[in-house]
C-alpha cells in the first residue's frame, strides 16, 4: 500500500464526498424551514467570529472574499496535481487566481509571500513534486493552514448537525486525513467550474468585498441576536468604534462600508455621537442565505 492509500484508508472516497456535498446543496431550502435553523446560523456565526478574533492577519491586498477563495485554491491545487503530477506552485496558483477572477497574478504573488510570512505556506523539496523536469519548486500548505480550514469546517458542520445528519457525517469524516483532501477536491472543482457561494447570498457580497466586512456583518447580527435574547432593543446596535476594533480596520473603512450598506437597506445608522449601527431584516436574511449555502 503506497502513502496515498495509507492516508486515505478507511476514509470516504471521491464519490462519497461528492455525494455528500450534492446532498447538502439539495437540502439548503429544506434546512431554512427547520425551527432550529436560526439557532444553527447563530452558532456558526459565533464560531467564525471566534476564529477571526483568534487570528488577525492585517492586510489590504485582498478582501474577505478573495482571501477565502485563495486559501481554498491553495489547498485544492496541492491535492489536485495536473496531468504531469505538478501540485501547488506559484505559477499554477497565480494562473488559477487570474482565470477564476480572484485577483491578478501580481496580487496573488503578494498574497503568496504574505502566506509564507504568516506560516501558511512553505517551499517544499523538489522531490515533493512529480514534474518530469524536476525544476519546478513546489509550495506546500503547512499544518497551520490545514488546521484553519479544518476548524472552519468543524464549525459549519457542527451547526449543520443541529439540523441534519449530514453534519454528523462531516464531523466524523473530518477525523480522517484522507477525507480532508477529498472534500477540498470537490470544493475546488466546484469553484473552478464557476459555482460561487455568494451567488446564493447577494446581500452579503457587499460585505465580502471589503476587508473585515463579513465579520462586521456577523458582529451586527450577533448584537441583534443577543439583544433579542435579553429582551433589550438598546443593546442591538454596535458603534463605529466597536466595529473598527473588532475587525481590526479603521473607522474610515467602517464608515464607508456602513454608508454603502445603509443605501442598500442592509443597515440602519441611529443618530448620536457614535452613530450606533443596527442590522436590518435584510442583512439577517442575507446572513441566513450565506450559511444555508455554506
pLDDT by residue (tens digit) across 72-108? 999 999 999 999 888 999 999 999 999 999 999 999 9
- Alpha-carbon gap, residue 81 to 249, rounded angstroms: 37
The pLDDT of residue 47 is above 50: yes
Please give the backbone phi and psi of residue 247, each rounded to the nearest 5 degrees, phi first. -110, 5
- Alpha-carbon gap, residue 222 to 243, rounded angstroms: 12
What is the set of domains in the chain, with CATH numbers? 3-195 (no CATH), 202-293 (1.10.10.10)
Single out the residue of 258, 249, 239 nearest to residue 212, CA to CA.
Answer: 249
DSSP3 helix / strand / coil % (the chain, rounded to 5): 65, 5, 30
pLDDT by residue (tens digit) across 243-289? 998 888 889 999 999 999 999 999 998 876 656 899 999 999 999 98
- Alpha-carbon gap, residue 204 to 291, rounded angstroms: 11
The pLDDT of residue 212 is above 50: yes
Give the pLDDT band (50/70/90) at residue 16.
low
Residue 168 C-beta-side C-alpha neighbours within 13 Å? 4
pTM over 0.75: yes
pLDDT of residue 23: 53
pLDDT of residue 229: 82
Amino acid at each position: 500500500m503506497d502513502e496515498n492509500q495509507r492516508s486515505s484508508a478507511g476514509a470516504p472516497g471521491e464519490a462519497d464526498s461528492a455525494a455528500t456535498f450534492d446532498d447538502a446543496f439539495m437540502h439548503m431550502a429544506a434546512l431554512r424551514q427547520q425551527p432550529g435553523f436560526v439557532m444553527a446560523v447563530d452558532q456558526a456565526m459565533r464560531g467564525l467570529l471566534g476564529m477571526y478574533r483568534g487570528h488577525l492577519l492585517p492586510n489590504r491586498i485582498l478582501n474577505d472574499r478573495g482571501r477565502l477563495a485563495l486559501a481554498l485554491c491553495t489547498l485544492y491545487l496541492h491535492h489536485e496535481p495536473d496531468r504531469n503530477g505538478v501540485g501547488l506552485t506559484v505559477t499554477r496558483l497565480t494562473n488559477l487566481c487570474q482565470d477564476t477572477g480572484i485577483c491578478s497574478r501580481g496580487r496573488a504573488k503578494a498574497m503568496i509571500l504574505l502566506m509564507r510570512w504568516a506560516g501558511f505556506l512553505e517551499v517544499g523539496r523538489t522531490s515533493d513534486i512529480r514534474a518530469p523536469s524536476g525544476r519546478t519548486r513546489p509550495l506546500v500548505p503547512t499544518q497551520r493552514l490545514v488546521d484553519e480550514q479544518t476548524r472552519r469546517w468543524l464549525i459549519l458542520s457542527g451547526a449543520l448537525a443541529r439540523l441534519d445528519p449530514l453534519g454528523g457525517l462531516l464531523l466524523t469524516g473530518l477525523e480522517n486525513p484522507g477525507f480532508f483532501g477529498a472534500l477540498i477536491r470537490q470544493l475546488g472543482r466546484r469553484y473552478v467550474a464557476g459555482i460561487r457561494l455568494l451567488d446564493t447570498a447577494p446581500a452579503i457580497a457587499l460585505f465580502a468585498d471589503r476587508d473585515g466586512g463579513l465579520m462586521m456583518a456577523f458582529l451586527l447580527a450577533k448584537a441583534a441576536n443577543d439583544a433579542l435574547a435579553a429582551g433589550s432593543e438598546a443593546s442591538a446596535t454596535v458603534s463605529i468604534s466597536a466595529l473598527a476594533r473588532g475587525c481590526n480596520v479603521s473607522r474610515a473603512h467602517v464608515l464607508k462600508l456602513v454608508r454603502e450598506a445603509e443605501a442598500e437597506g442592509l443597515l440602519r445608522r441611529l443618530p448620536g455621537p457614535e452613530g450606533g449601527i443596527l442590522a436590518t431584516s435584510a442583512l439577517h436574511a442575507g446572513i441566513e442565505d450565506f450559511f444555508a449555502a455554506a
